[in-house]
Structure 1
Amino acid sequence: MEHRPLSELGHVADLKPSEVPVLSKRERLDRWAELLEREPDRLLRTLDEIEWKPKAVRLAMRADNSALTVAFNDPVLRTAGLLSDRFGDAVNFFQISEHDAHIVLCSCHGGQFMRAEEAARRVRGIRSPSLWSLYFGWLR
């Protein structure tokens, strides 16, 4: 095998940079909800009392087998820029408020565990606030 610098390979092969999918906020949230809906009865861990944590701790929060783990395990979302299954990275990637992330992920809204189907319903609720009451039966 002959080794050549990358700059020389353009003459031998058709090199194209890999394409990173550009997903809109809605597409990102829809993808997350769809991933959760694939295993509706799966029990997911919630994040413990997010609202009581200092900001730095809150942004770094994660839990094994959480709704964020489901998102981060998806190669499409990772390729699109999801950096980890931490609360702060999810807020940034999905372009949602900490309040909205709290509604989806916090233990105060469902206990230590939540069914994936419920997490998907919450993701769809924050995606379409005008339809919030249809997803939850509550007004926002």
Structure 2
Amino acid sequence: MKHQTIEELHEVAEVAAALPAMTRTQRLEHWARLLEQDPEQRLAAFPGTEYMSLEVRDKAQSLGSALSTAYADPMLRAEGLKNDTYGESKRFFELSDWQLHAIVCHCHVGGTMKAGWAAVQIRSAIDKEGNFFTRLREAISQWVLFRILTHARE
């Protein structure tokens, strides 16, 4: 048997590493670490995500945001992140609307935020995963009456 380097194998075949898929926590931790590489970097915030209709919110994008930082990472794209929309990020990172709102919405920080601040919010979403009050708030936010009242303010 002839020993060949990975580079030599790439010349004759497509070589893919068979790594286990990242868990939700690993994906979130990786995203937070990406942002912490330049914690002072200014990122664009999403305006009023809680007031957008579900359809609009799922398609929302913001150039230079924490979501576009995640999508720029080859590892997260290889794991299945398809684009930098709000809805895709919510699906990929397994975040609720309230959790993603806390990470990207302008109501907490204004038009821009520091990458380090976003990383803290991401880590908070990991830590609150099993918190009773977080689960209760998520359940209430799904109630039809809550949505009607929220959208009535628009």
Q: What is the TM-score with the length of structure 2 in the denominator?
A: 0.72
Q: Give per-residue Cα distances to partners, 1:11-60, cap 9 Å, x unaligned.
A: xx777666465000000000000000001100000111001111100000
Q: Which runs of 5+ in 1 are unaligned?
A: 1-12, 133-140
> Are 1:55 and 2:60 matched, yes or no?
no
Give 1:117 deviation, angstroms: 0.4
Q: Give per-residue Cα distances to partners, 1:81-107, cap 9 Å, x unaligned.
A: 001110000000001101100000001
C-alpha contact (below 8 Å) 1:22/1:80 kept by paired residues: yes
Take 1:37 and 1:15, find their aligned partners in 2: how far apart are those partners?
33
Partner SS for 2:113: strand
Aligned to 1:83: 82
Instruction: Report 1:1-140 matches (<5 A).
Output: 19=18, 22-129=21-128
Take 1:71 and 1:113, find their aligned partners in 2: how far apart are those partners?
17
Q: Which runs of 5+ in 2 are unaligned?
A: 1-11, 132-154
Instruction: Output the aligned Cα RMSD.
Output: 1.9
Identity %: 32
Between Structure 1 and Structure 2, how many residues are aligned? 119
C-alpha contact (below 8 Å) 1:82/1:89 kept by paired residues: yes
Q: Give per-residue Cα distances to partners, 1:55-85, cap 9 Å, x unaligned.
A: 1000001100000011000000000000111
Change (3 A) 1:38 1:16: closer
Take 2:16 and 2:41, find their aligned partners in 1: how far apart are those partners?
37
Take 1:50 and 1:30, find their aligned partners in 2: how far apart are those partners?
23
Partner SS for 2:40: coil
Greater share of helix: 2
Take 1:23 and 1:42, find their aligned partners in 2: how far apart are those partners?
26
